[in-house]
Structure 1
Amino acid sequence: MKINTVSIVGCGWFGLPLAKELVNQGFVVSGSKRSAEDALALELDNISGFVLDLDNSNDNQAHLNVKLHTDAIIINIPPSIRKSPGAYIRRLEQLKRLIAAHQYQKLIFISTTGVYPSCGKLVTEQDAQAHSEASEVLLQAESLFNQASNACVIRFAGLVGPARHPGRFLAGKTELAGADSPVNIVHLDDCVAAVTCVLSSDKVSDTYNLCAPEHPTRKEFYTQMARSLSLVEPEFGDIAQAGKVIDGSKISTELGFEYQHQDPMKICFTL
């Protein structure tokens, strides 16, 4: 069956560019925002906006059914675990109740590579484990949806792109640890392209990592990124960190996906 209609829960920094790209490719796209004003603004980009506040009761169930009961759904709710880990799970549980009666041709859940411990080695999709309170929450969130029929979890590495230039992340900081630890990042362009690829592919695995293939050291990367913005370069101390190398090649091997931004050291020229 062909996917024609897509609902995106969370049209923010990532969800909105994704929605625009899907519209450009001919999909009929619905997108959620938490306020009526923001939902209405989506109409300017030919996105059928609707209000969805998972912290409060959503009274118009019939309206939500129209917007959420599409051929495919992409769930993109920022974790905000440090502020309120319990709230994140409650929001997802509420969403699960709202869509429980519908069978999707494809359900894509956006997660993060925070599910992998800093073990000092290459990690693949099979290496996720509850190594911290945050990772426990992330894995619990994935488990709410990854058993659904036609579900696929996509784990993003550190996100960079418009308004998220990595040169600002550590600029001016001193005595930083992990100078030689590898960097794991992914550009917004690749996030949009990868989710679009999964959405359009007939047969996909249940989980994919998304991370740039090259992994410079933290010192190399953040020093150059700060320098590219003429900011104060970060200073690294002698404290080592094990780090990890996220293997994001599975999606390329299985689906033929090609990263547009393979070398993080060159990304500063495209932000």
Structure 2
Amino acid sequence: MKINTVSIVGCGWFGLPLAKQLVKLGYQVSGSKRERGAANKLQRDGIQGFSLDLDNHEFNGQGLETDNFPHHGVALTSELQSQLQASLHADALVINIPPSIRKLPYAYLNRLEFLKSLMAKHAYQRVIFISTTGVYPATGKPMTEGDAAPHSPSSKILLQAESLFLPDYPTCVLRFSGLIGPARHPGRFLAGKKDLPGMDAPVNLVHLDDCIGAVSCLLSSETISPIYNLCAPGHPSRLDFYAQAAEHLSLELPTFGKEIQVAKIIDGSKITKELGFNYRHNSPLDMLDKC
């Protein structure tokens, strides 16, 4: 297997630095932004940008009603569809679409179904689907890749999203824990909040650097499993971590009440054991200086 071209759907907080790193590694990279102007700017970083808005009726700024969802009954023009497929039909595809399930629960699945229609039957060497450890219930036990369960309405949708791609493409689902890094400092998450639950509950976080490193590892590895978790090995308590994170920014410390939360502990070791991947940031406390 030799992957030379990579297309990234969603060049945002994670996708853009990923694309930049893959360019440095010698891949030919294309990447999507919702707005055409933003997509054109990706060229400055050596990324072939293309506009892809999966729920805008005026698709790609063409003034066309082209959602292409089955229930709308409107199809893309053949020319525009060919243009999009040319951008998406690379050796490898990274699907990085934020779920936003709380606001519009089923819009996420609609977007992914539309994307899948554009992927068509292209012979990808690898599809990497970015998912989340929200698929795991809180049981007090370490959660490995086989422990996902539809324990809530949102987790049910997340599992449905993963299942859209796993059977039909050579797909690897990469489940991220809580994301932190530049412009996403955890000190702001709970600063100043009062009487929070779960002071002793462990945190499950991963740094942007390791997210980028893991995708790079998946692209360069010959044989991989269908699913991997990504979570730093260290799991300090919510009390210790968020107090230090707020103090790191000189913000008001959060306070915790006596309400107990059942722990959720994400085991992110499978990717290290199988592929030799090494976390650059093993402890969330050590990540604070890199946010």
TM-score, reference length from structure 2: 0.92
Aligned counterpart, 1:68: 88
- Which residue does 1:239 correspond to in 2? 259
In 2: Cα distance, 1:220 partner to 1:121 partner: 20
Q: Residue 103 of structure 1 aligns with which residue?
A: 123
Q: Which runs of 5+ in 2 are unaligned?
A: 57-65, 67-75
In structure 2, which of residues 278, 283, 287 is the aligned counterpart of residue 263 of structure 1? 283
User: Partners in 2 of 1:116 and 1:87 — Cα distance?
Assistant: 22
1:1-271 maps to which residues of 2 (within 5 A)? 1-56=1-56, 57=66, 59=77, 60-271=80-291
Cα distance in 2 for residues equivalent to 1:242 and 1:34: 39
Give the Cα separation in 1 of the matches to 2:232 and 2:139: 19
State the secondary structure of the residue aligned to 2:26: coil
Secondary structure of 1:145's counterpart equals: coil
Q: For residues 38 and 65 of structure 1, what CA distance do their matches in structure 2 show?
A: 19
CA distance in 1, matches of 2:11, 2:156: 25
CA distance in 2, matches of 1:55, 1:255: 36
Percentage of identical aligned residues: 62
Amino acid at match of 2:42: L
Distance in 1 (CA, whole Å) between partners of 2:289 and 2:54 is 38
Asked if 1 retains the 8 angstrom alpha-carbon contact of 2:175 and 2:230, the reply is yes
2:255 aligns to what SS in structure 1?
coil
What does the per-residue CA deviation read over 1:184-212, in whole Å, with 9 as the maximum and x for residues that have no partner? 00000000000110011000000000000
Aligned pairs, number:
271
1:26 aligned partner, one-letter code: G
Unaligned runs of 5+ in 1: none
Contact 2:182-2:290 within 8 A present in 1 as well:
no
2:62 aligned partner: none
CA root-mean-square deviation? 0.8
Matched residues in 1 for 2:169 and 2:154: separation? 26
AA aligned to 1:81 is: I
Greater Cα offset, 95-104 or 19-28:
95-104
d(CA) in 2 for partners of 1:4, 1:269? 34
Shift of 1:148: 2.6
Counterpart residue type for residue 175 of structure 1? D
> For the residues of structure 1 that align with 2:290 and 2:216, how far apart are their CA atoms?
21
Mapped to 1, the partners of 2:19 and 2:193 lie a distance apart of: 36
Provide the C-alpha distance between the structure 1 equivalents of 2:139 and 2:223, rounded to a whole number of angstroms. Answer: 31
Deviations 1:85-111 (A, max 9, x none): 111000000001110221100000000
Determine the C-alpha separation between the residues in 2 that align with 1:148 and 1:159. Answer: 28
Normalised to the residue count of structure 1, the TM-score between the two structures is 0.99
CA distance in 2, matches of 1:199, 1:147: 19
| Partner Cα separation in structure 2 for residue 149 and residue 82 of structure 1 | 28
